[in-house]
Structure 1
Amino acid sequence: MLFDLPDHDTLYAALLARDARYDGQAYVCVASTGIFCRLTCPARKPLARNCSFHPTIAACLQAGFRACKRCHPLQAAASADPAITTLLHALDARPDYRWSEPDITRMGFDPSTIRRSFKRQFGMTFLDMARQRRLRDGFTTLASGKVITAQHDAGFSSPSAFRTAFARLLGCPPSALATDGLLRASWIATPLGDMIAVASTTHLHLLEFIDRTALPTELQALRKASNTSIGIGRTQITDQATAELAAYFNGQSARFQTPLHQHGSSFARAVWAELARIPAGETRSYSAIAQSLDRPEAPRAVARANGANQIALMVPCHRVIGADGALTGYGGGLWRKQRLLEIERQYTSATKATAHVTSR
């Protein structure tokens, strides 16, 4: 669980000290490199704001981080199963290869057995691990403007297949990305799945989970609303958003201060502003938000504006539920909505505990 670990400062101090007591009990994910390590890793230590800590290897992999090649955090799990060791070595040797079950069979392993072994050790299958690694590597390479290199990093043998896969994710082919675009799309890993952030040098314009069905449509709408092109890369705003998301998932802070630029009608912006006023750990119904806007007849319009929000988490549309207490729809998936609300209840508990201690 996210909050079973000691606090961020304690774990960061353990990382600096290479404290062996935490080996196998906690792992550090470094947002600036996309790598996760043991706390005893001998590599140069990252800045605290770039670190998030997780209790399991599975959590690090599911958040989109790759294993460090200096401290080899996967080795402990792999040593218990020679088949896992062999496949991890094969993946390291050919990270751009499009692995399949016939490949596993040709290596002398039973695919169903391998599937169960990887799920048990890492929380995902070997093929899931390989696919995630290819996709992220390809996306990251695009920041350099080298489309062909990105195609190979993502493991696509033909340019057309890469263009199709990329367009499915971002709603446009790689050639449509401007190297000098005023808006830059970047990849942010979180414990609940990878996100796409689109930012300028001054504001965050979009933040969505990459598996959101409406993401390509949202990106097209953003291009039209901003009347500018979108490139690949990071800005200071992206770095600020990444650090604040890490603090949120680490249980440090549910307050976001990244400057936002939201494209929408005046009513939609009023709804989004009302969402931002809902404290972490609390929820509101669509009708309650309509009442607060002096539009009691407009709960359906509130629901539409809620669904049109393009900045997930920071504009907390996940805190809106049905009048009967049901979770209702969420573009990032109801399972994510439930998990976010569970996470935020921890903030409420911490606030109440602090208030209790203060009042004594």
Structure 2
Amino acid sequence: MPVTEINEIKKYYQALLTKDQSYVGIFYAGVKTTSIFCIATCRAKKPKLENTEFFYTVKEALNAGYRPCKICRPTENANEAPEQIINAIKMITQNPKIKISDSVLRAHEISPEIVRRWFKKNYGITFQAYQRMYRINQAYQELKTGKKIIDVAFDNGYGSLSGFGYIYKKIAKNSPSGHLNNNIILINRLTTPIGPMFVCATQQGVCLLEFVYRRMLETEFKQLQQLLNATIIFGENEHIIQTRIQIKEYFEGKRKYFSIPLHTPGTDFQQAVWNCLKQIPYGELTTYKQQAEKLHNPQAVRAVANANGFNRIAIIIPCHRVIGSNGKLTGYGGGLERKKWLIDHEKSNLKS
């Protein structure tokens, strides 16, 4: 069924006109004159309002007879990566020590051109750079176990120690011999019904989980690297794998609580506020004022709101469950529409 509420239709249409990234995955716009549907950021010529109808899910748009737009590819960009990309990433994760060349991709019926474009658009780096980071992470993990540098270099496919040392230092910001002083933050991407997210983790636990389109995300990355004296590189560890599984279960309505280790550098006050956030039950809401009162500091409403804003771990530390004292939705880095979606999602799952 299409969206019928007039104010919501107007809001979505304005977001479509301005290509508002915070609405990616929130709605899908069906164009009656072409029978195609798009996501908010589509570059195609915008239809007239009277020729547009909006849906909450891809399935609804498809059931209404619309086909995916070839420009914005809504079934790919709002949710899962295309199959060729999934297969290319799988080749890296299953064979981290082997260089996946264009010829290897073609042998597996994967287009190198499609892979290059997707990685540049979604990660801001090349597929080869992504591979190099994965291989360096593999080398870093092996060095941590006490393995000799020369063995690590050759086992990971490097033809010389100098070449390995150059790449390692370029990515990890330190030489292989200084690996004990290397602090690494691994970053990876996961998909959700309301848009892709970046997840970062150290050996201690998850330190960031944010929507890709969050404002100030670059600033968060810089702050996190400074706080942990670490370098962010693409890779994966058990905490990232666990997050991917549990977030998927959350969006499927199967999970209400998380058991993922977290690594949350911050001030004592921020830690107290974030711990308070974690105590808000699934499907329930509180206010900044109530948070301040729980912390026995009722005058600190503004400080509590600021600390909520510095929360880097969306959903797991559920700042989306905090609203204004007047009952209105306020301040959410992923966008107020996503905040509303998450609140409605939890309420509907409690009812069912």
TM-score between both structures, scaled by the size of structure 1: 0.55
Match of 2:132 among 145, 149, 154: 145
Structure 1 residues 205-231: Cα deviation after superposition (integer angstroms, max 9, x where no partner): 111111112111111111111112222
Structure 1 residues 70-102: Cα deviation after superposition (integer angstroms, max 9, x where no partner): 9xxxxxxxxxxxxxxxxxxxx9684157xxxxx
Match of 1:252 among 245, 251, 254: 254
1:290 aligns with 2:292: yes
- Give the aligned partner of residue 205 of structure 1: 207
- Give the aligned partner of residue 178 of structure 2: none
Question: Are the counterparts in 2 of residues 178 and 231 from structure 1 also a CA contact under 8 Å?
Answer: no
Mapping for residues 1-360 of structure 1, pairs under 5 Å: 55=59, 58=74, 61-67=77-83, 94-95=113-114, 134-136=121-123, 138=125, 141-145=128-132, 182-350=184-352
**Residue 317 of structure 1: how far off its partner (Å):** 0.6
Query: What is the letter of the counterpart of residue 330 of structure 1?
Result: Y
Identical columns (%): 32
Query: What is the letter of the counterpart of residue 261 of structure 2?
Result: P
Question: Are the counterparts in 1 of residues 199 and 208 from structure 2 also a CA contact under 8 Å?
Answer: yes
Question: Are the counterparts in 2 of residues 223 and 229 from structure 1 also a CA contact under 8 Å?
Answer: yes
Corresponding residue SS for 1:206: strand
State how far apart, in whole Å, the 2-side matches of 1:321 and 1:59 are: 31
Question: Are the counterparts in 1 of residues 183 and 228 from structure 2 also a CA contact under 8 Å?
Answer: no
Structure 1 residues 87-142: Cα deviation after superposition (integer angstroms, max 9, x where no partner): xxxx9684157xxxxxxxxxxxxxxxxxxxxxxxxxxxxxxxx7688425946653
Structure 1 residues 223-255: Cα deviation after superposition (integer angstroms, max 9, x where no partner): 111112222101110000000000000110121
Corresponding residue SS for 2:114: coil
**Residue 192 of structure 1: how far off its partner (Å):** 1.2
- Give the aligned partner of residue 170 of structure 1: none
| Distance change (3 Å), C-alpha of 1:322 and 1:269 | same
State how far apart, in whole Å, the 1-side matches of 2:127 and 2:343 are: 31
Q: Which runs of 5+ in 1 are unaligned?
A: 2-53, 71-90, 98-129, 148-173, 351-360
Question: Are the counterparts in 2 of residues 95 and 133 from structure 1 also a CA contact under 8 Å?
Answer: no
| Distance change (3 Å), C-alpha of 1:297 and 1:232 | same
State how far apart, in whole Å, the 2-side matches of 1:176 and 1:214 are: 23
Structure 1 residues 25-48: Cα deviation after superposition (integer angstroms, max 9, x where no partner): xxxxxxxxxxxxxxxxxxxxxxxx
State how far apart, in whole Å, the 1-side matches of 2:128 and 2:349 are: 37
Structure 1 residues 298-334: Cα deviation after superposition (integer angstroms, max 9, x where no partner): 1100000000001011000111000000001111101
**Residue 202 of structure 1: how far off its partner (Å):** 3.0
Question: Are the counterparts in 2 of residues 271 and 302 from structure 1 also a CA contact under 8 Å?
Answer: yes
Corresponding residue SS for 2:309: helix
Structure 1 residues 48-77: Cα deviation after superposition (integer angstroms, max 9, x where no partner): xxxxxx84685564114214699xxxxxxx
Query: What is the letter of the counterpart of residue 250 of structure 1?
Result: E
State how far apart, in whole Å, the 1-side matches of 2:123 and 2:208 are: 19
Query: What is the letter of the counterpart of residue 220 of structure 1?
Result: K
| Distance change (3 Å), C-alpha of 1:199 and 1:222 | same
Query: What is the letter of the counterpart of residue 142 of structure 1?
Result: A
| Distance change (3 Å), C-alpha of 1:146 and 1:259 | closer
| Distance change (3 Å), C-alpha of 1:219 and 1:96 | same
State how far apart, in whole Å, the 1-side matches of 2:214 and 2:224 are: 15
Question: Are the counterparts in 1 of residues 183 and 229 from structure 2 also a CA contact under 8 Å?
Answer: no
Q: Which runs of 5+ in 2 are unaligned?
A: 2-57, 63-67, 69-73, 87-109, 135-168, 175-181
| Distance change (3 Å), C-alpha of 1:247 and 1:140 | farther
| Distance change (3 Å), C-alpha of 1:279 and 1:235 | same
| Distance change (3 Å), C-alpha of 1:237 and 1:146 | closer
Query: What is the letter of the counterpart of residue 269 of structure 2?
Result: F
